[in-house]
Amino acid sequence: MTTKSLLQAIHDGLAGEMRADETVMVLGEDVGRAGGVFRVTEGLQEEFGEYRVMDTPLAESLIAGAAIGLSVNGMRPVAEIQFADFIPPAFDQIVSEAARFYYRSGGAYYVPITVRVPYGVVPGGALYHSQSVEAWFCNTPGLKVVAPTYPADAEGLLRSAIRDPNPVVFFEHKRCYRLLKEEVPEGGAVVPVGKARIHRAGTDLTVVSYGFVLHQALEVAEKLSTEHGVEAEVVEPLTLYPLDRGTIVDSAKKTGKVLVASEANLTGSVSAEIAAVVAREAFEWLDAPVMRLGAPDVPTAPFAKPLLESFMPGAEKIEAALLELARY
């Protein structure tokens, strides 16, 4: 067991898979000599060389497209997109190509690539270094989308993603990179793609959340327990697409009250799908409407600190929503 931050866990997951399988490689902007703008890939180029850890030109479509072509010819590439906000040029290669090879070739070609994507609000990041863009990828059959928050989950899921024969988009919340450390088993926990995790059991209500907001939700859940005797069950989807509907719906049936909270612009976010599924599948069990919290429908977190405050969902809003649910 080692104690690691999210960032270290992802680093170790990469290094571990690269040591175990020489077809695993990393490519992206500044991932080599600089070790990535967040230092996730630090030291990898020294260990694995300039090709297996490749600094690419500034061309996201090329990064994703080349990863596909590499995977077709025997490699297992992990592509890094420097910030989620810069993934749109790669959208076509990920959504129309990587996700479709297997189906369109009748199962002949598969695309075992992983696309790592740092996302989420960090102070000062502003419009183009803050967005939560996961919903863009959650309407595409053939693709898998994961978004772990805790170190052990992240290392385990990254290893699973790399070994997965399908393309996996791997979201990492920037603000969680160094937020806390956690024990991670040597060689990484086994965390399968497609399974949600219950962080905290509870009987009174359910919170479904991920990313930085999950940390806040867990804090609020503790507070509610001590201050109000309300026991919230906190569920993290881990895989956003396809969803582990079973775990989420079971929790909803147990508690009868559900809040879905994330940092994405509320309308059209992944929370909509989760809420729709719960509202449908757990209808008979619901004692209150499925509530959602997200960022307001505004482009995104502004640069100026005082403006930023008004943007994030935040612990108070989560608490207020949960108390409303509890009293419903």
Partner 1 sequence: MAMKQTRSRHEALALGAEELLKIYRHMLSARRTDERMWILNRQGKAAFVVSCQGQEAAQVGAAYNLRPGHDYAYPYYRDAGIVMTLGMTARDQLLSLMGKGEDPNSGGRQMPGHFSSRELNIVTASAPIGVQFPQAAGTALAFKMRKEDGVVLASGGEASTSGGDWHEAMNFAGVHDLPVVFLVQNNVYSISTPEPLQVAGSIAARAEGYGFPGVAVDGNDVLAVYEVARGAVERARRGEGPTLIEAKTYRLTGHSSDDDDRRYREREEIEEWRLKDPIPRFERYLLENGVLDEEGRDEIDGKVKAEVKEASDYAENAPFAESGFALEGVYAVVGGKR
- Tell me the catalytic residues: 129
Contacting residue, 8, 82, 255, 262, with ligand TPP by CB under 6 A: 82
Phi-psi map region of 39: left, alpha, beta (phi>0 left; psi -120 to 50 alpha): left
Nearer to partner 1, 103 or 283 (CB): 103
| Residue 17 is a binding residue for a copy of itself (CB under 8 A) | no
Q: Which does 288 bind (CB under 5 to 8 A by kind): ligand TPP, partner 1, a copy of itself, none?
A: a copy of itself
The position carrying tokens 């949960």 is: 322
| Residue 254 is a binding residue for a copy of itself (CB under 8 A) | no
Contacting residue, 48, 101, 150, 177, with partner 1 by CB under 8 A: 101
**CB 50, min distance to partner 1, A:** 9
| Residue 79 is a binding residue for a copy of itself (CB under 8 A) | no
Considering only the C-alpha atoms of the chain, give the largest distance between any 2 of them, rounded to a whole number of Å: 59
The position carrying tokens 């806390």 is: 180
| Residue 58 is a binding residue for ligand TPP (CB under 6 A) | yes
Q: Which does 289 bind (CB under 5 to 8 A by kind): ligand TPP, partner 1, a copy of itself, none?
A: a copy of itself
Three-class DSSP labels, the chain? CEEEEHHHHHHHHHHHHHHHCCCEEEEECCCCCCCCCCCCCCCHHHHHHHHHEEECCCCHHHHHHHHHHHHHCCCEEEEECCCHHHCHHHHHHHHHHHCCHHHHCCCCCCCCCEEEEEECCCCCCCCCCCCCCHHHHCCCCCCEEECCCCHHHHHHHHHHHHHCCCCEEEEEEHHHCCCCEEEECCCCCCCCCCCCEEEECCCCEEEEECCHHHHHHHHHHHHHHHHHCCCEEEEECCEEECCCHHHHHHHHHHHCCEEEEEEEECCCCHHHHHHHHHHHHCHHHCCCCCEEEEECCCCCCCCCHHHHHCCCCHHHHHHHHHHHHHHC
Q: Which of these segments, 6-14, 82-90, 135-143, 201-209, binds ligand TPP (CB under 6 A)?
A: 82-90
| Residue 267 is a binding residue for a copy of itself (CB under 8 A) | yes
Q: Which does 163 bind (CB under 5 to 8 A by kind): ligand TPP, partner 1, a copy of itself, none?
A: partner 1
Which residue, judged by CB position, is nearest to ligand TPP in the bound state? 86
What CA–CA distance (Å, rounded) separates 116 from 55? 15
For residues 12 to 41, the per-residue mask of contacts with ligand TPP, x marking binding by CB under 6 A and - elsewhere, is -----------------x------------
**CB 248, min distance to partner 1, A:** 20
What CA–CA distance (Å, rounded) separates 299 from 303? 12
What CA–CA distance (Å, rounded) separates 140 from 107? 17
Q: Which does 265 bind (CB under 5 to 8 A by kind): partner 1, a copy of itself, ligand TPP, none?
A: a copy of itself
Q: Which does 185 bind (CB under 5 to 8 A by kind): partner 1, ligand TPP, a copy of itself, none?
A: none
Q: Which does 261 bind (CB under 5 to 8 A by kind): ligand TPP, a copy of itself, partner 1, none?
A: none
For residues 53 to 82, the per-residue mask of contacts with partner 1, x marking binding by CB under 8 A and - elsewhere, is --xxxxxxxx-xxxxxxxxxxxx-x-----
Residues 279-298 contacting partner 1, CB under 8 A:
296-298
Nearer to ligand TPP, 45 or 255 (CB): 45
Using CB under 8 A, list all residues that contact a copy of itself. Answer: 61, 85, 88-89, 91-92, 95-96, 99-100, 103-104, 127-128, 135-136, 138-142, 241-243, 264-265, 267-273, 275-276, 279-281, 283, 286, 288-292, 297-299
